[in-house]
Structures are given as structure tokens and as C-alpha cells.
Amino acid sequence: MPLSEHEQRMLDEIERALYHDDPKFATSVNVSRIRRRRPILAAGAFLIGLVLLVVGVIATQSVLTLGVIVSVVGFLVMVASVGLFVFGQPGARAAGKPTASAPGAGNSLSDRMEERFRRRFDEQG
């Protein structure tokens, strides 16, 4: 299930705070590089699945069961790669909508998250 706009903004804010609070750890994890690499991996997996599907169709002429198995595996790889591409992408953002900065943006991430929790608790109670 893709993230909502609010959840995506929160995730981006957490990522920025991580880069701000601990840049050494953030560069070792490098989440944005993983996000950019996913479509490339999905396209590569799709091509591999397509090749397996074609090889399976060709192989059915000599050994039926082997060809069918290879074709089914190729099809499943193709479906999985489309799923990775579609569901692995960040949620669509509305163009032109600036992200609002949280009050107390100079605080650490844990302080801001605690502040939000307290505000929500106060609103409910």
C-alpha cells in the first residue's frame, strides 16, 4: 500500500532530521540512493523475466515440462518486478505544495516527535 501524502511528508522530514542529527550514519544508510535504484532494478528484473518467458516458450518444443516451468518462473519474475516498481515508489506529491516546517524546527527529532505526540494527546483528551 503506497504512503499517503502526509505519511510521505513525515518520512521525508524524518530523513532530513536524520541527515541533520547524524550525517555519518545517514550517509552510510543513504535511503535516497535506494529509492533511485528501485526502478532500475525493477526494469532489469522485468527484462530477465521476459527473457525467461521467451526461453521457456522455445524450450517447450523439446522438453515440455521444463519449458512450462521456465515460462511460469519468467512470468512470476515479471509480475514481481512490476509490483516492485509500482509499490516501491514514493507516494505522488502534489506539485506546487510547499512542505510546512514544524514548529521548533531547531529541536532534535525526538523532541519534535514528542511534542507532536503531546499535542495529539491534548487534542483527544
Residue 73 lies in a domain: yes
**Rounded-to-integer distance, Cα 77 and Cα 42, Å:** 10
How many domains are there within the chain?
A: 1
Residue 42 lies in a domain: yes
Through-space distance between the first and last CA atoms of the chain, rounded to whole angstroms? 31
Residue 115 lies in a domain: no
Residue 84 lies in a domain: yes
pTM of the model: 0.48
Residue 108 lies in a domain: no
Residue 50 lies in a domain: yes
Q: How confident is the model over 35-92, as pLDDT tens digits?
A: 677 888 899 999 999 999 999 999 999 999 999 999 999 999 999 999 988 887 654 3
Q: Which among 125, 92, 114, 120 is positioned nearest to 7, based on CA atoms?
A: 92
Name the residue range of residue 10's domain. Answer: 5-92
Residue 122 lies in a domain: no
